[in-house]
Structure 1
Amino acid sequence: MHARRTGAGRGVRGWFRVKRWCVPDRDRAIYPSLGACVLLLLLLPAVATAQGFTVAGQVVDGVSGSAVGRAAVSLEPAGTGAAEPAADWASAARQLLTGVDGSFRFAGVPAGRYRVRAARRGYVAASFDQHGEYFAAVIAGAGRPEAERLRFVLMPLGSIRGTVLDSTGDPVLAATVTLLGTSRDGSGAIVPVRSASVQRGSDRYTFSNLEPGTYYLAVTGRPWWAESGEEGDSAGNNPLDVAYAPMFFDGAESSSGAQPVVLRAGESAEANFSMHAVPALHVLLRAGGGGSGGDAGGLPALTVPAFDGALGLPMGMFLGQGRQRGGDGSLQVTVAPGTYALSSGGGVGAVTISADSTLDSAATAAGAALQGKVAMADGSALPSGLRLRLLGVSGDRGGVMDGPEAGSDGVGGRLQQTGSNIRYIGRFGRRPLEVAIAGDGSFAADSVPAGRYRLELARPGAGVIAITGAAASGATVGEDMTLRVQGEPVILAVTASAASAQVDGRAADGRGAPVGGALVLLVPANGAATLERVAESNSDGGWAVRDVAPGEYRLVAIRDGWDIAWRRPEALARYLAGATLVVVRGDGLSGVSVVVQGR
């Protein structure tokens, strides 16, 4: 059985045939003219190109380095490159299975940029050199030998499992375990992954098919034998009126003490919980402020705040028997003492509950008035459909959003309460606030909670409009285009620019060799986070970023830089010292070379 030769291989064979035909042979009576030979030699590269190129490589295990056989590999266009892919190539992906040695080969591939994907049971399905939403495109074409020797690494999946027991060693039935992981968007934020329940007849939970990474776990639940509203002893104590406090692994009462579970590729980790019942508190949730709250009836909702407050974990609350009071739609719930996130139509706040309480949906409604105007930097008319977005940010893991000091009740709104047992400790959340912008650029909002916000301009379904400058009275604006609201009325002036330029170039090491899979960052010299652009270098080292606003930038490329929190200035500082300064104008910038830095 003979292997099929394609692309450059057939071009080489053609060269030797032409050479034999053009070189004089005493056994032949007729010789071709010199012009005919030259013409044939000039046409050979075009013939090879028409026959196509090769994309080939090997799929290997990311831990052992051994070959991964029978992996499904696909090849599909990822945009134009040296040539527009043929119509039949642009319409569908090509697929095949790797051999026992993990090898794959796509022949007759038109020149261009391609996305190569691989999947195998027990492994993380991925594109070539994928990191979150970014991947390295494979460039097929003349002089692209790297496309024929791809080393495609698949990482084995792992799992986290464990038990949830009470203080007597019995399983906590219907406990909910929430798995959280580090975001892959470069922010370092902790985000929810999924939840699992302890099933009846078992004391275990399992999270399977997990990618390698850093995870956190939290558990909530309630004792199945708990009773609420039953009469107690002469002192009013009822041993059955109890609740479980939310818990983070390993035994922490809040996310600030949570211990990470570092899951390596292919590993199975164990994380066990032991929950302890405590005397319950009773909270009456009431829709006193109107509006839409935690449910359709306008009631506020209680959740467990986690990390920077962007997360509200399920409570596992026990609903009291007499929860409907006086026909007003109020709801009584049973919780353990602690700090909770309180959300309603007015926003999200945090409360510390240490005694029976009443919470009102008006509790989070107050905030600062905001008004201002948006104008284009070049004096042109403002595009229609713009909206100003305020995205809440916080300082560090476990902290609350910047706002009033603990115990304050005047800046971010007051909590309606039955006693002094509830205190306001700040506001949580990354749920963006959106404000419509009128045709003349003006905008206004009645109530913005105290805190720090990243400013963005949203224009659904249209081109990117970037914020290039901002100034405020009644609040402060940082160099990174974050607005700090303290509770006073805010007047905000925003300058914007159309971000439509493209910047492209090549990432290489110190010797000039191309580096694929590198993190490429275009960081505004003024520190404005909204103008930052990200790309991954392709197999030939090429990269491109789009939707760039005119201005000065620092260009950085980092080998294996995807695991650092590159959206955080403190994590990027040492790389910026070796950055390349570039100036982008409206027509963009092309052919920019950047030397790749190591970790």
Structure 2
Amino acid sequence: MRWSLVEASLLLFAGALCGGIAHAQIRAQTKPEAKHTAVGAHYEINGVVVSSIDGSPIPHCRLTPTLVAQGVFGSRRFPSSTDGSEADEHGRFSIPLPSAGAWNLRASARGYVTQSYEEHGAFSSAVVLTADSPEIDLRFKISPEASIKGLVLDEAGEPVRDAQISLFIVPPSSPGGPPANTGSRTSARTDDRGMYELANLSPGGYRLSVRARPWYAEVSQQSGIAVAGSPVDPSLDVAYPPTWFPGGSDVATAETIVLHAGDTRQADFHLVPIASIHLKIAPPLGGVGGANVRQGQAIPIVEEIMPGANAPRLVSVATHRDPQGEFDVGGLTPGLYQVRIPGQDGRSTVVDVAANSVRPLDLDAPRNDIARVTVHIDGFAGDTEEAGDRRGRGLRVNLIDTDTQRGTFSSAGEEGGFAGRRGSRAPSAESKESKDRIIEVPPGRYEVVLQGGSNIFLTGLTAKGAEASGRYVTVPAGETTLTVHVANGRANVSGIAALEGKPAVGAMALLVPITIEEPDSIDFLRQDQTNTDGSFDIENVIPGQYILVVIDKGWQINWGDRSTLRRYLTQGVPMELKPSASVKQNVVAQAP
């Protein structure tokens, strides 16, 4: 019989209430703070560095310890008073340390990826030293570096120089569902032979994109702004569209390049130019005394919103201005752009540019192809500096396009204006007073994520002119209002995980909401990795009902099938977290 996650969770909670599962909260010390060295105390990390492929020792590897301290904003790393140590010719090392505490230990060697002890993506295991256990001996595995290299050619088979290659990480499947999108990890440019190389890569999945411009195109020849004159030669009015490996213009068609330790992959690009797209931008209204006079002094700035990028990217364009002050911006390819006018009330707008078009754009006119979302923050319980005031200053609202991966759109964190992608019109007097935020986005479905207040959490969404469900909102073109309901008081869960009576080191610690499979759920799965003493610390948790699970070697499990998580939950520890609770709970780790 196949149970749903919710059914299994409710049954587990019922058993716990009847005494079937004991979940006494234990005052376990986790990730100890640094202590002053006692007289005669000696703290030391010893071990050997070996290759993750064959276990062979890595000579002369450099090891650097960093003290990890706990605070209200989560784990923070501070440089140690030691310069680290170099392993000998057999890979052995011994690092004396000035104090007890949780130490992040990183290893680096020529030809190997620099990484922390037991590193898995964004997680690793701290090396914990105490007065009772002042020394430890480790076997530190690091991976030979992987690389991607290739050649970028134009339509004639000639090398394209100075093309920008961007590398994006594709996270593996996680217990909480589809992996989140990540930004660009690194980039490289082609040389005069059209060649590039991306080195020092960790094992994992990656996607590649390339941006370049034809050397003969008008956008490559123009410097500054030109006065409109004779028509541009169509053979010069061309551009290369952003291209994802192996050759598509849509991120959905991009191939995921899977690298294993020590791999080298070849990824070549062949670029084909298309006709340049033009924006006809009317100068904004303004003038002395508020007269509706078209001002043509400020030059429009055009930035591209790339899938997976953390911020808009300035693009090279060919800009002409006619005697009436209208701007003709050429050199564009299909995609999503932010157009802003500096010095004009910070106004900007988002434009979805289609192929083979000349697109008129008036920043003062209402738009009927873009969703203009007025975001209102509701529910602050206090007015501390950390939380912001009751009107939401200091808190940022992000709308993340998780379906088509077209970008992340954010409100301001300080004064309620727009950060990065602002509304094209000035806020109303009512909007200014209430500090509502205005975000322009393409119509579609977005996940609402809060940022900027570590103790604030989302409790619900309501929308006018849009559809809200759980953490998601679907907005059509036109004006909509989104009310984001929030509250103070995130919780923390810490403890010790043991396996067969010993600390479970490098295990996956999961805090699973019992509503994880419900489409309207606000809660989401949180995770951590256990340290060398088995300790874990899951911070900034939304209050609610959860099941705590620790899985030994959980990083090696294929989480692509959501049902995989269910079999671990029946042996987990149910917990109900109240606002601002700090709960300590020991747990027995499960075998994978």
> Which secondary structure does the structure 1 equivalent of 2:252 belong to?
helix
Instruction: Give the structure 2 partner of residue 38 of structure 1.
Output: none
- Give distance in 2, aligned partners of 1:526 and 1:119: 42
Matched with 1:590 is 584
1:167 aligned onto 2:163:
no
Q: CA deviation at 1:58?
A: 0.8
Residue 343 to residue 525, structure 1, CA distance change in 2 (3 Å): farther
Q: CA-to-partner distance for each residue in 1:91-147, whole Å, 9 max, x for gaps?
A: 6135221111111123587544322222223222222123344321112247759x6
With over 3 angstroms needed to count, the CA separation of the structure-2 counterparts of 1:565 and 1:365, relative to structure 1, is farther
* 3-state SS of paired residue (1:63): coil
Matched residue, 2:138: 150
1:513 corresponds in structure 2 to: 502
> 361, 377, 389: which one pairs with 1:384?
389
Is the contact between residue 151 and residue 194 of structure 2 (CA under 8 Å) also seen in structure 1?
A: yes
Distance 1:299 1:179 in 2: 29
Which residue does 2:302 correspond to in 1? 301
Amino acid at match of 1:354: N
Query: Mapping of 1:140-539 within 5 angstroms?
Result: 140-141=129-130, 144=133, 148-182=136-170, 187-200=179-192, 202-226=193-217, 238-288=234-284, 297=298, 299=300, 301=302, 303=304, 305-306=306-307, 317=316, 319=318, 323-326=320-323, 328=325, 330-335=327-332, 338-344=334-340, 345-361=347-363, 367-371=372-376, 373-376=378-381, 384=389, 386-387=392-393, 388-396=395-403, 399=404, 428-432=407-411, 434=413, 444-446=436-438, 449=441, 450=443, 451-456=445-450, 458-459=452-453, 464-472=455-463, 474-479=465-470, 481-486=471-476, 489-490=480-481, 492=483, 494-499=485-490, 501-509=491-499, 511-527=500-516, 533-539=526-532
Deviation of the 1:74 alpha carbon: 3.0
Shift of 1:261: 1.8
Cα distance between partner residues in 1 of 2:251 and 2:127: 42
SS of the aligned residue for 2:408 comes to coil
Q: Contact 1:298/1:361 (CA < 8 Å) preserved in 2?
A: no
1:59 CA displacement: 0.7
Q: Structure 1 residues 455, 269: closer, same or farther in 2, change over 3 A?
A: closer
Question: 1:554·1:576 contact (CA, 8 Å) conserved in 2?
Answer: no
Q: Matched residues in 2 for 1:537 and 1:153: separation?
A: 17
1:256 aligned counterpart, secondary structure: helix
Map 1:545-564; keep pairs closer than 5 Å: 545-562=538-555
**Aligned partners of 2:538, 2:191: CA distance in 1, in Å?**
48
- 1:93 and 2:78 matched: no
Cα distance change of structure 1 residues 432 and 508 upon mapping to structure 2, 3 Å threshold = farther
Change (3 A) 1:319 1:466: same
Alpha-carbon contact 1:176-1:197 (below 8 Å) kept: yes
CA contact (8 A) 1:304 1:340 kept: yes
The residue identity in structure 2 corresponding to 1:222 is: R
Query: Structure 1 CA distance, aligned partners of 2:380 and 2:527?
Result: 26
Partners of 1:132 and 1:184 within 8 A in 2: no
- Tell me by how many angstroms 1:266 deviates: 2.3
Is the 1:160–1:269 Cα contact (8 Å) retained in structure 2? yes
Tell me: CA distance 1:361–1:164, structure 2 relative to 1, closer, same or farther (3 Å). Answer: farther
Q: How many residues align?
A: 489
The offset of 1:55, in angstroms, is 2.4
- For residues 57-111 of structure 1, the C-alpha deviation after alignment (integer angstroms, 9 at most, x for no partner) is 111122232111111223343349xxxxxxxx99613522111111112358754
CA distance in 2, matches of 1:268, 1:505: 41
Gaps of 5+ in 2: 1-37, 71-77, 220-227, 287-296, 341-346, 417-429
In 2, the alpha carbon distance for the partners of 1:258 and 1:493 equals: 34
Q: Which protein shows a greater Rg? A: 1
2:423 maps to which residue? none
Conservation of the 8 A alpha-carbon contact between 2:349 and 2:363? no
- Check the 8 A contact 1:348/1:429 in 2, yes or no: no
2:80 matched to 1:75? no
- SS of 1:130's partner is coil
Aligned mates of 1:299, 1:467 — CA distance in 2: 37
Query: In 2, are the aligned partners of 1:373 and 1:442 still within 8 Å (CA)?
Result: no
Cα offset, 1:343, TM superposition? 4.3
Distance 1:121 1:297, change over 3 A: farther
Distance 2:218 2:461 in 1: 56
Shift of 1:253: 2.5
Q: CA deviation at 1:259?
A: 1.2
CA distance in 2 between counterparts of 1:77 and 1:194 reads: 27
Kept in 1: contact 2:181–2:405 (CA 8 A): no
Q: What SS does the aligned partner of 1:149 have?
A: strand
Unaligned runs of 5+ in 1: 1-47, 81-88, 291-295, 402-427
Alpha-carbon shift at residue 393 of structure 1 (Å): 2.0
- Give the Cα separation in 2 of the matches to 1:331 and 1:563: 54
How many angstroms does 1:264 deviate by? 2.2
**Helix, strand or coil for the counterpart of 1:156?**
coil
Give the secondary structure class of the aligned counterpart of 1:78. strand
Once the two structures are TM-superposed, the CA of residue 333 in structure 1 deviates from its matched residue by 1.4
Cα pair distance change 1:574/1:443, threshold 3 Å: farther
User: Could you tell me which residue of structure 2 aligns to residue 45 of structure 1?
Assistant: none
> How many Å apart are 1:453 and its aligned residue?
3.7
CA distance in 2, matches of 1:206, 1:476: 45
Measured against aligned partners, the alpha-carbon deviations of 1:491-547 in whole angstroms (never above 9, x if no partner) come to 636241322x432112234x3432211222323444566675432200121112234
Matched residue SS, 1:148: strand
* Deviation of the 1:214 alpha carbon: 1.7
- CA distance 1:350–1:330, shift in 2 (3 Å): same
Question: Cα gap change, 1:551/1:151 in structure 2, threshold over 3 Å: closer, same or farther?
Answer: same
Give the distance between the partners of 2:397 and 2:362, measured in 1 at CA. Answer: 25
TM-score of the superposition, structure 1-length normalised?
Answer: 0.69
C-alpha distance 230-558 of structure 1, shift in aligned 2 (>3 A):
farther
User: 1:63: which partner in 2?
Assistant: 53
Deviation at 1:329, TM superposition (A): 6.5
- Whole-Å separation in 2 of the counterparts to 1:197 and 1:183: 24
Partner of 1:42: none
Q: Counterpart of 2:251 in structure 1: which amino acid?
A: S
Structure with the greater relative contact order (CA < 8 A, sep ≥ 6): 1 or 2?
2
The one-letter amino acid paired with 1:555 is L
Identity across matched positions, percent? 25
Calculate the TM-score normalised by the size of structure 2: 0.70
* 8 Å CA contact retained: 2:550, 2:587: no
Q: 2:223 — aligned with what?
A: none
- Offset at residue 593 of structure 1 (A): 0.8
